Chain A
Amino acid sequence: MEPTKVVAHKTLRVKSGRFSLGTTLMHVVLIAWALTTIYPLFWIVNNSFKMSRDVMNDSFAFAWSPVLTNYMNAFDRMNIGMSYVNSLIMSFSTVFLVLLFGGLAAYVLSRFQFRGKRTIYSILYATLLIPAFATVVPVYELLIHTKLVNTYLGLILPQTAGNLTFATLIIAGYMATIPKELEEASFIDGCNRWQMFTKVFLPISQPVFASASIFVFLWSYNDLFSALIFVNKENVRPIVALLNEISSQYGTDFGLMATAVSLTVIPVLLVYLFISKYIEKGLTEGAIKG
């Protein structure tokens, strides 16, 4: 453990960057991009305080006289609290399963030499390309037969399968470059492969597990199509189902849409803020050296 070294390194960087022109320029570019990413979020939240007609015709104006109609409407239509809980249970479970099984598979694919590895990679690329529309009906039939429709597992299991490929690929990409010495050292220490995974690769790969979990969470949480078909009963449906309440053949309520999006975005941002700490550089540097 050498925490002091990390701190020393950080201060060094701060000093070198303080007065440089380059740094200023970098900040200008970054701030410019930041403006483009902040604005849409503001746009959504701003429009959630307007009536549908005003969103359509005047969406770029500031909502000087905000209306709460959309929020009342949203709370009226769905048990928002319960849906948040449903969403969190299902999405966290999916994240957990994906990281566990994807992590193990990635470990094998990145650190073992064996025949058929290339084939497995090709299959994984192919898997990324399977459109959800091509699998939804058979999966739904399967869930009906196993009585999993309208249960948490009815969404967790298909989503776990759907996100495994992505997670496996990026975790494997990260693990591929971890120094061999670490592996060898732990082997000499008498670790078996499982211990090597939990004691060496898991801690070192924290940043990639963290980013993978953000994306898996995001996709699982935002997956309206599966949610509507697999878990649309009131007591299990996730918060994203609120987006189904915004339209019908009578048209779309754009104000309600902005509200629904605002309400669904909040937890993801919170989760992101929480998890993104793990991506921070200092953490892993310590881990690699320690």
Chain B
Amino acid sequence: MKRSSLLLVSIMLLFSMFLAACGSNNSSTPSKEGETSSGTETSTEAKKDPVNLRVFSTFGGTDAAREAFQGVLDEFVEKNPHVKIENDTMSANDDGFRTKVNTDMNTGNEPDLLFYFIGTDAEGFVNAGKVVPLNQILDDNPDWKNGFIPSALELARQKDGNIYAAPLTGFYEGLFVNKKIFEENGLELPTDWEKLKTAVTKLSEKGIIPLSVPFDQSHYLIEHAILSAAGPESQAKGLIDGVDPNWEKGYAAMKELYDLGAFPKDAATIDLSMAGNYYSEGLGAMILEGSWAIGGWSEETRNNSTVIPFPAVPGGAGSGNDIVGGFGTGFYLSKATYDDAAKKDTTIELLKFLTSPESIQKIATANGGTPAADVEVTGLAQVALDGFAMAAKADSISSPVDSKVSQETFSNLRSNVQPVVTGKKTPTEAIEDAKKTEDANKN
């Protein structure tokens, strides 16, 4: 039979590939064994021995600092030829990222250095003792410590008061405004609530999207509405110890804006990138975003933009000059590496190198973030400089409200944006609903 011989050939082909798979499998194992055996040797000899380090970060995909980060790693390897670095990356907006990091941490597959979120997201592995506090190492290396802006280190503290993550660049969020559209329509910058309402009404009449935000991925809308209605202190408390009625005012403010026609008609079903696209293409006059978004806009929009704090909601506790920002990410040093004499020193060297003022400058230049060291970042757009100025002048800088409540509570807050603005739920019901989720999560 001809056909069965053809089938046989293809099966054999498959089989040989399978064998090949096993073959290359085996060849990769010895290098791993070598790695662990070098771990048992004394640290004096370890300097000459090859060291393999795994750095797991989000500097991949379309990340603006991807190349700059690879460059910094290359530089370190050039200076320390015995070190091999595996630059393991995954996109932070991929939900698989958190899963992988946490499972790695949980199962003894920790990377040597991990670039990850600071705050609630990290609480799990921090409390489980999977990473080491950096306080002592910072004190032992004054040169390194002094390279950071003190406030950057302060903002990197976990709840227990220790610093586990060495910050690199920070971020700010705010109300980005297309000045050109405002000028063309004879509008003032929306620095207070009345001006915002006037602008929304006028723009909406003219068929321009006043504030380009999505309802489902309404992270920034919620963050700003709650901060400006409840004020930084109440925002920081979250919902666990009771509900501050000012939170409801944030939701009522969203409804007020919605009734004036502030949001895109298809706000319910678009995502953040489409909302950003409307702004970038000049279809929208304002957007709530973070500093990272600037690089993604069209050059024209970028040049016409400025950023201001979200105005205070009338009757709320915000000052109108409170902003969302901070150092949301940093490098963690895993406990397993710290306890491994062969790797410890090299890894600390690498950590120091990655967060040295020079490296910070390179990364900040690439991604437009706020540098964690006192360095000058050049070549930035005017709007980015406006952003730095806004952050410098702010009355308070708070980390986003999603780091103050559980993930599930925040999802609940997000899912209630649409029902509230369309009048299906009252702001009170929305916050009560969120409070219930929060309570269930902390039980």
Contact = CB atoms under 8 A, between A and B. Distances in A.
Chains A and B form a bound pair: yes
B128 interface: no
Contact of A92 (B7, B18, B99, B298): B18
A88 B64 contact: no
Contacts of A233: 86, 88
8 contacts: A53-B298, A140-B103, A140-B107, A151-B28, A153-B25, A228-B94, A246-B61, A246-B62
Contacts of A253: 62
Interface residues of B, number: 51
B62 A245 contact: yes
Given A96-B17, A144-B108, A250-B367, 12 more contacts: A136-B99, A144-B107, A147-B32, A150-B28, A153-B21, A156-B21, A228-B100, A244-B94, A248-B60, A249-B91, A249-B92, A251-B293
Nearest to A137: B103
B306 interface: no
A149 B110 CA distance: 13
A252 B7 contact: no
B46 interface: no
B304 interface: no
B3 interface: yes
Contacts, number: 131
Contacts of B293: 250-251
Given A147-B32, A153-B25, A232-B90, A92 B100 contact: no
Main secondary structure of the interface of A (DSSP, over half): helix
B269 to A, nearest CB: 16
Interface stretch (B135-143, B180-188, B273-281): B273-281
Contacts of B292: 249-250
B25 A93 contact: no
A93 B108 CA distance: 29
Among B62, B94, B100, find the residue whose CB has the most chain A CB atoms closer than 10 A.
B62
Given A247-B62, A250-B295, A287-B3, A140 B100 contact: yes
B293 to A, nearest CB: 8
Contacts of B100: 140, 228-229
A3 to B, nearest CB: 10
Contacts of A247: 61-62, 91, 93-94
Among B11, B22, B109, B292, find the residue whose CB has the most chain A CB atoms closer than 10 A.
B109
